[in-house]
Structure 1
Amino acid sequence: MELKDLLLTPIYLAIFYGIAFSVRKKYTNVLTKKYFIPALSLKFLGAIALGLIYQFYYGGGDTFNYHYHTQIIYEAFLNSPSAGLQLIFGSTEGYNPDVALYAGRLYWYHASTEYAVVRIAAFFGLFCFDTYTVIGLFFAAMSFSGMWAMYLTFLRIYPLAYKKLAIAIFFLPSVFFWGSGLMKDSICIGALGWVFYGFYHTAILKRQIIFSALVGLLGVYLLISVKVYILLSFLPPALLWIFNENNRRIKSAAARMLLKPFFLLLGLGAGYIGATQLTEGDAKYDVEKIGERTKINSEYLTSQVANGSAYNIGSFDGSLGSMVKVAPQAVVVSLFRPFLFEARNPVMLLSALEAALFLYLTVNLFYKTGVIKSLQLIASQPILTFCFLFSIVLAIGVGTNSGNFGTLVRYKIPLMPFYLAALYIMQFMASAKRKARLNQPQLNNPRKLRQLAVTE
């Protein structure tokens, strides 16, 4: 960080807040308005804190490596705007004499996923004199837009839980810290929110189809460019969600039974085709190589850790069969670890507190509702089925691929809002069922019910 960070950051913060206050009325209602600015402020705080911790605690890291690349691109832009724009928007394949001088200094120039982040950061850098902290604020604002879209989508599905949903999406420390600054994770959590919004409004609600489809496709493009495995974890549960929603609308029980196998096979087939086509030839994510890559990643990351943050979920040889064998432990480590006694530093302690919250809510909910009734409730509500399946699939992926808690805390943030949101929605539904059995009204204030209408 430099002197210009101190000078320009307050100015750009004022600009961002001015924009936020001007658009808040359009995207909030009387009950959600109070969360808009605090949630955005936490994102800005997370972006600034990320840079400070990487500089003064870790002494460097990926976030500054991204900025190093943007500095070179900004230098190119000042010397030749054409060369700078080609580095941001042009192809990295082949030899281009106009950018060769600068491309040779960019060690991530041919690393597609990392350079995708560099492109976005360099583009934002053109508007702020390539100031690191301000680029982080741009990333935070972009991430917030997707997460607010995620919040609006959950509210459309279950508006009564608006307070708890705000906690699940905006106020988890790991999510607003790791998902706010100049990192891949900020792009991914924002893009996932746009995909969720676009998918629900296009395929389930069938409203604002053109706008929703465009927003969703933008999110899909970003996930494919940065972390395609998040999209691969999203697709199968999403296709099952479409089946469950449409299956519930079929009045004939016989027709539902006849069509159920067909829709399931269709969903599985579409998910497999999507996964293989999206990853074909990709050195990192090709389905044929994913087990091998997972084994290599896990062993490498574990071997690099000397501060006690490594974990072991059992041995696997890289085959998909061995991954299935360690899947239950991967889910436990992703959702409920590190335990409090495993925390070795302040960052791990925050993650351990969140994991303890997840464990407490899960055990408490299943205990109060009953295991069988809880599973029946999950199976009967498409949104719960989707959230839990997505969380479990992604938990298996990141749990087997990480090998230490330091990287796991970043990898798992996309699933955290969905898992916690599902727990809170399930909690409300179970409570409503208990009240119904006792003949108690669930909501006796029509005026408040009208206020719960989501403004989009």
Structure 2
Amino acid sequence: MLMLFVPYHGEVGLEPWEYLVSFVYIMVLYIHFARKKRMNMKLHPEYKYYMSGLLARFFGGFIFCLIYLYYYPGGDSLAYFYSGVAVKRMLFIDPAEYFRQVIMGDNSARALATYASLKVLPYKYVFLDNRTFQAVRVSSILAVMTFNSYLISTVLMASISFAGVWACFRTFVSYFPKLVKRFSIAFLFMPSAIFWGSGIMKDTLTFSAVCGWVYAVDEVFFKRRNVVSRAVLILFCGLVMIQVKPYIFMVILPATLLWLFYFRIVRIRNIMIRFVLIPVISVAMVVLSVFVLKQMGDLLDKFALDEALYNIENIQGDMVSNTAYGDNKFDVGEFDGTWWGVLRKFPVATNAALFRPYLWESKSLVVALSGLENLFILILTIYVLLKAGVRFSLRCIASNPLLLMSMSFALLFAFVVGVSTPNFGALVRFKIPMLPFYMSSLFIILFLHKERKYARMKGIRFDLTKYRMGPGQVRKGAGQFADPVGRSAETSNHPNGHVYRT
């Protein structure tokens, strides 16, 4: 049996009992989630993809384990997990100290010194770093439930993180029910999201947190259901993002404010008032975002606005000059030390995050698979732009608050990741939070194009305002989801139940 040496733990690998016990865990989880599917299937047809999405996560987690144990011998994932195993030992020696570290988040030098008498120590560089320590905290809890098994812990991690992704998938389906199959591709079956979003990694935590945030915001401010519990979920997801990868929160916050403010603006019928309010509220939103992020400077640490420019230049320079990466890197060009110099990199950096590495730039198996995925995304992007046109695509984005939020988050996140991560290996991992939102945006634009095409065939004037809350919400009728514009006395009904103004 192949073994890997891990400091403080000796030789580790997948023992035969782990396969058996992990199968038992999967069967128990399968029965639980299958029951949930049966209970919801009649009222919510999207549950058709529930079990297949979950099994895809289990498969991704299993492959992730094999890759990190035998293809990449070691890596951050194993450092997080086995540091968590060491922390777990503290539970049985000094429970009060364990809860101080895991629940209260104490990763000080004093806390690390408490392991001096133990035979197993956490990795110092992982334990003392506030970002990576969050993965250690989660790993220690998983280790308690899985007999210190890396494989079984990954299975649990995959199932827990699936909750946020599934919730966000259902949010998009509630607005555009006819796109359930395409949204399942975007949220549940993108290969890189399945692989990098299922293992014991910081990316798994933040990916699920972003999706959970969007779901909870929609529940609180738009659907207005379970407001208290979903407000708590917003705070929890925001805290996860801030503590693990603050730059994700720095992107999702302005995108969310744009979503909320723009929804209010597009409901105003008076064109003159809208014309005046849009620039005023846009400026106010930018000022509010900057103010909030500046006030959170201590929490954001090196990602705080005051230090962001300096750190972007340093990260870019260090990774580009590091010969250890070989050809597995790209260069967006030199920076001139100003924010304008960074913003000028938007086209090349965003292109890199969305579509690179190209297939011919792949230097390893994992990156090559990502290259195939990127080729699919590039082809789909070109197809949508050719079919719908740039002008209509922009009209769609400007007319639908959910689409505006989704595309703005995807593009801004792609820029931030692309400008600060000139390494393909890291890039394919860092960009997974924006993948489902970018893909879903393309699918929505293509859907609206087809709706317009159908309307023209019937000689009906196509009205984008009918899709401000998505056809799924328009069909709910009166109440909080009623059409904000109001329906004309004369309407023409689409075979799918969609309504056009005549």
TM-score between the two structures when normalised by the length of structure 2: 0.84
2:23 aligned with 1:23? no
Alignment match, 1:59: 73
Alignment match, 1:228: 246
Question: Residues of 1 paired with 2:279 and 2:91: CA distance?
Answer: 57
Q: Report the AA paired with residue 383 of structure 1.
A: L
Worse-superposed segment, 394-403 or 289-298 = 289-298
Tell me by how many angstroms 1:93 deviates. Answer: 4.1
Question: Residues of 1 paired with 2:421 and 2:280: CA distance?
Answer: 36
Quick check: 2:87–2:140 contact (8 Å CA) kept in 1? yes
Call closer, same or farther: CA 1:154–1:105 in 2, change over 3 Å: closer
Tell me by how many angstroms 1:196 deviates. Answer: 0.4
Alignment match, 2:101: 87
Q: Deviations over 1:88-128 (max 9, x none)?
A: 22323473599353697541222111001110111121112
Question: Residues of 2 paired with 1:97 and 1:122: CA distance?
Answer: 15
2:88 aligned with 1:74? yes
Call closer, same or farther: CA 1:281–1:34 in 2, change over 3 Å: closer
Call closer, same or farther: CA 1:231–1:97 in 2, change over 3 Å: closer
Alignment match, 1:39: 53
Alignment match, 1:314: 333
Alignment match, 2:406: 387
> For 2:332, what is the secondary structure of its paired residue?
coil
> For 1:415, what is the secondary structure of its paired residue?
helix
Question: Residues of 2 paired with 1:97 and 1:187: CA distance?
Answer: 24
Call closer, same or farther: CA 1:358–1:442 in 2, change over 3 Å: farther
More relative contact order, 1 or 2 (CA 8 Å, 6+ apart): 1
Alignment match, 2:489: none
Question: Residues of 2 paired with 1:371 and 1:47: CA distance?
Answer: 38
> For 1:280, what is the secondary structure of its paired residue?
helix
Q: What pairs up with 1:18-417 in 2 under 5 angstroms? A: 18-26=31-39, 28=41, 29=43, 31-90=45-104, 91-93=106-108, 95=110, 99=114, 101=116, 105-107=122-124, 108-280=126-298, 282-302=300-320, 303-417=322-436
CA RMSD of aligned residues (A): 2.2
Quick check: 1:87–1:99 contact (8 Å CA) kept in 2? no
Alignment match, 1:444: 495
Worse-superposed segment, 292-301 or 225-234 = 292-301
Q: Deviations over 1:37-87 (max 9, x none)?
A: 110011111111111101111111000001120121122223333333333
Query: % of aligned pairs identical?
Result: 27
Question: Residues of 2 paired with 1:40 and 1:301: CA distance?
Answer: 36
Alignment match, 2:439: 420
Call closer, same or farther: CA 1:27–1:296 in 2, change over 3 Å: farther
Question: Residues of 2 paired with 1:139 and 1:185: CA distance?
Answer: 12
Tell me by how many angstroms 1:347 deviates. Answer: 1.0
Question: Residues of 1 paired with 2:121 and 2:151: CA distance?
Answer: 26
Tell me by how many angstroms 1:396 deviates. Answer: 1.0
Question: Residues of 1 paired with 2:36 and 2:332: CA distance?
Answer: 47
Worse-superposed segment, 79-88 or 44-53 = 79-88
Call closer, same or farther: CA 1:378–1:219 in 2, change over 3 Å: same
Q: Report the AA paired with residue 452 of structure 2.
A: K
> For 2:45, what is the secondary structure of its paired residue?
coil
Call closer, same or farther: CA 1:403–1:130 in 2, change over 3 Å: same
Q: Report the AA paired with residue 275 of structure 2.
A: M
TM-score between the two structures when normalised by the length of structure 1: 0.92
Q: Report the AA paired with residue 8 of structure 1.
A: V
Question: Residues of 2 paired with 1:445 and 1:378: CA distance?
Answer: 22
Call closer, same or farther: CA 1:156–1:59 in 2, change over 3 Å: same
Q: Deviations over 1:253-297 (max 9, x none)?
A: 333233333322321122112222233374421111112111222
Call closer, same or farther: CA 1:404–1:438 in 2, change over 3 Å: same
Report the structure number with the largest CA radius of gyration.
Answer: 2
Tell me by how many angstroms 1:25 deviates. Answer: 3.6
Question: Residues of 2 paired with 1:44 and 1:51: CA distance?
Answer: 11
Tell me by how many angstroms 1:200 deviates. Answer: 1.4
Quick check: 1:309–1:406 contact (8 Å CA) kept in 2? yes
Worse-superposed segment, 58-67 or 364-373 = 364-373
> For 2:110, what is the secondary structure of its paired residue?
coil
